[in-house]
Amino acid sequence: MEGNNEVNYLNEKPGLHVWWRLLRPHTLTASFVPVSIGTLLAVLDGTFHLLLFLAMLLASMMIQAATNMFNEYYDYKRGLDNEKSVGIGGTIVRDGVKPVVVKRLAYLFYAIPVLLGIYICLETSWWIAIIGLICMIIGYLYTGGPVPIAYSPFGELFSGLMMGTVIIGISYYIQTLTLNWEVIMISIPVAIFIGCILLSNNIRDLDGDKENGRRTLAILLGRQKAIIFLSILMLVAYSLTAGYIITGLLPIYSVISLLSALSARKAVMTFLANTTNVGMMPAMAATAKTNTIYGLLIGISLLLQYLFPIHLV
């Protein structure tokens, strides 16, 4: 009965909805936000190429979707997912899609970014190919390979660094053909919030991951300390943002990004009030929303600075 309640809670539907869930669309803002921020920083510096932006955005989202598919495939192969698992696409364990289909689709989703990457390199630099290849390898090794990154204490670090700092840096570079420390500094809060998404996922899955031999950061810290650490990470991200605004690294408009703290608070409070997987699902959703809202508001603030410039420092 409990399993049925979990499936009903997830509101899963057949048909095209199966393939849509496989993409885990609620996570794809972790690609959209960094690409947009990196590009808007380039716009503020006077450069914008629409086709490069679209190519980078599509490539990043497809690599992330492929990573999600590899996650689905390898967690199933290792026996970590079952029909009652929450927080997964469920296309294999609940919808009966053959594992090999999911794996092949993941490789297909990797092939398209390769083609897009060739176009980006032709327009910019072939160094991008090396960085892109590294990103794709890490995306595969996140749950594939003999020692998956996701099963270690370093998952949050890799996801935040690659999907936050690296993507913002590449998105800026392909527009301007330069990179500076200001862009790297601005990427840090975004990287932190992206890492928080994974940490919240691992807090929710702590008991099951522990039983299956994982050694995630949440397991090493324990549930309560992991929630405290999540709070600290969010506080650091907001403190950095405030500091950037005060010093002029971010425009005064970026103060609106602090509104996302309401979602961050909801995430932490929900984690503290619940111990079941289903009960913690809204907390994970609130963490993902925090990243989305923060990133979108930072993007809006950069656009406002471009349209109506204000210089306080």
DSSP letters spanning 224-239: HHHHHHHHHHHHHHHH
Q: Among 165-169, 232-236, 309-313, which is the least confidently predicted range?
A: 309-313
Contact between residue 237 and residue 195 where contact means Cβ atoms under 8 Å apart: no
Q: Which of 272, 307, 266, 311 is nearest to 287 (CA)?
A: 266
The reported pLDDT for the residue numbered 16 is 65
| Higher per-residue pLDDT: 189 or 70 | 189
CB 51 within 8 A of CB 57: no
What mean pLDDT comes out for the span 300-311? 95
Please give the single-letter amino acid code of residue 128.
I
148-162 pLDDT, tens digit per residue, is 898 899 999 999 999
pLDDT given for residue 146 in this prediction: 83
Helix (H, G, I), strand (E, B) or coil at 273: helix
Domain 12-302 has CATH 1.20.1250: no
268 HSE (CA, 13 A, CB side): 17
CB 82 within 8 A of CB 93: yes
How far apart CA 253 and CA 302 sit, in angstroms, is 8
pLDDT at 67: 87
Angle 196-55-140 from CA coordinates, rounded to 5°: 50
Tell which wins on pLDDT, 82 or 104: 104
pLDDT of residue 92 exceeding 80, the answer is no
Give the confidence band of 13 by pLDDT, cuts at 50, 70, 90.
low
Domain ranges of the chain: 12-302
Q: What percent of the chain has pLDDT over 90?
A: 67
pLDDT of residue 244: 97
Which of 3-17, 70-84, 293-307 has the largest mean confidence?
293-307
How far is C-alpha 162 from the chain's CA centre? Answer: 9
Per-residue pLDDT at 313:
56
pLDDT of residue 85: 57
Q: Give the model's pLDDT for residue 80.
A: 67
